[in-house]
Amino acid sequence: MAPTFRADHIGSLLRPPPPSWHPLSSDIAEATRAAMADAVKKQLELSIRPITSGEYDRTTFYSGFFEKLEGMTMTKGLPVPDAFRTGLIFSTVFLRMGRTVREANIATAPIRSTSAAYLEAWEMLKWVTPLANGTTWAPGVYGDDRAYFTDLATAYRAELKDLLMTPTSASSSGEMFQEGCRTDGVDLEELFDLYLWALNEAVRDRPTDMHIGIHTCRGNTVHFHDIPKGSYESIDEKMLTKLNYDQFYLEYEDPERDGSFAPLRFLPQGRSVVLGIVSTNTGELEDIDMLEARVREAAEIIAKGQERSVEEVLEDILAVSPQCGFASVNVNGSDSMLAKASRRR
C-alpha cells in the first residue's frame, strides 16, 4: 500500500514567539487558534502537505489524552529514577538536567473514556484550515499490565471513534532500557509482546477505510545524543509483522544512533514506511542527494526482503518525514524549520 503522503510530517512545529502566542495567555484558546491559523497559512503558501496544527494545543506529544480519562490522576513529585522503570532513557535525561522529580499520569481507578480528548483541537484545525517498579497504577487498581492496557486500549478505541465520526474525515530497542528490565527481572519478550497486543487492541475496531500509522519515537535529545541509542534489529521483525498498522514512522536521523536500514527487510507487503531522515536536532539543511541516496538504500533492502524490484518499492512503500517534532529543541528557527519541511518534497 502506497503511503498517503510521500512527504509526511511527524510531531510539533516551533511555537511563535511572545506576544503572539504564550502558554500562559489569558485566552489560551484564542491564542492557540491564532497560532494554528498562522501555521496553516505558511504551510499552504509553501505547498507543504499534510497540514498540521503544530501540536500547539499540547505541551508534549502525548498530552491531552491521559488527562481526559476517568481514573487517571496527574501525580507530581515522583522521584527520578526510583519511581520509574529501571534504565528508562528519559530518567537519565532528567537527571543530567538536574531534575530529581517529575510528574506522571497514574491510574488511581479503572480507566474509562468519557469524552474525546482531541476533538476540540481537531475542530479548531478544521476551522482555521481553508477547506520504581515501573507500574502506572496505584495499588489495588489493576492486577497486572494486561488489565491496565485493556482499559487503556478501550479508551483509545473510543477516541478514534469520536474523531472518525466528525465531519470531513477524509523506545524498547534501547540497550539501557533492556538492561534495566533484566535488572528488574522483567521478561523482555513477554513485555514486548504485551506492548504489541495493547497497540493492536487500541485500533481493533477501526473501520477498513481508516488509515493508521505509528511513530517509534526516540526523542529530540540534541544535548544527550548518546542516550537513545539502539538498532531496530531486536524489535523490527515482530513490530513490522505483528502490528495491525498501515504505516510505520521510523526515526533514521543518524546511523550511529539509530542503526542501519537492515531491519526493514522484515517489512511485509501491504505496509508502508515513512523514513524520518530529516533531522530536527540540527539546523543544518540536509543535502538532497544524500536524502535520495538514503531512500534508495532503504528501498534496496526492502526490495530484497520482499523479492520485488527497487522501483516497485519506491513507488508503493516509501515516504520521508522529519525524525521527530520541531518544538522539543531550540536549534531551528522558523525559516530553518520551514526549509526542512519543504525539503521533504
CATH code of 319's domain: 3.20.20.210
More confident residue, 77 or 168: 77
H runs (alpha helix) in 203-287: 236-242, 255-258
Residue 277 lies inside a defined structural domain of this protein: yes
pLDDT at residue 69, as a whole number: 94
Residue 130 lies inside a defined structural domain of this protein: yes
Q: What is the average per-residue pLDDT within 33-44? A: 89
Mean pLDDT of the chain: 84
| Structural domain containing residue 63 | 28-343
Residue 175 lies inside a defined structural domain of this protein: yes
More confident residue, 141 or 263: 263
Question: Which pLDDT tens digit goes with each residue over 99-149?
Answer: 999 999 999 999 999 988 988 888 888 888 876 566 677 777 887 888 888
Percent of the chain with pLDDT over 90: 36
In angstroms, rounded to a whole number, what is the distance separating the alpha carbons of residues 337 and 307?
37
Residue 3 lies inside a defined structural domain of this protein: no
* Residue 23 pLDDT greater than 90, yes or no: no
Task: Identify the H or E element spanning 291.
Answer: helix 288-306
More confident residue, 299 or 33: 299
pLDDT at residue 168, as a whole number: 41
pLDDT at residue 169, as a whole number: 39
> How far is residue 13 from each of residues 97, 131, 163, measured CA to CA in Å?
23, 21, 22
Question: Which pLDDT tens digit goes with each residue over 310-324?
Answer: 999 999 999 999 988
* Residue 165 pLDDT greater than 60, yes or no: no
pLDDT at residue 170, as a whole number: 37
In angstroms, rounded to a whole number, what is the distance separating the alpha carbons of residues 122 and 163?
8
Residue 135 lies inside a defined structural domain of this protein: yes
Q: Any idea which of 1-5, 155-159, 205-209 has the lowest mean pLDDT?
A: 1-5
In angstroms, rounded to a whole number, what is the distance separating the alpha carbons of residues 104 and 96?
19
Percent of the chain with pLDDT over 70: 86
Q: How many domains does the chain have?
A: 1
Residue 170 lies inside a defined structural domain of this protein: yes
Apex CA 226: angle with CA 221 and CA 231, to 5°? 100
Residue 11 lies inside a defined structural domain of this protein: no
Q: What is the average per-residue pLDDT within 253-263? A: 86
* Residue 173 pLDDT greater than 60, yes or no: no
Do the strands 318-322 and 213-216 form a parallel or antiparallel pair, or are they unpaired? unpaired
More confident residue, 198 or 48: 198
pLDDT at residue 134, as a whole number: 66
Residue 68 lies inside a defined structural domain of this protein: yes
pTM here is: 0.73
Do the strands 213-216 and 101-113 form a parallel or antiparallel pair, or are they unpaired? unpaired
SS3 content of the chain, % helix, strand, coil (to 5): 40, 15, 45
Which residue is it, cell 494486561?
A: 146
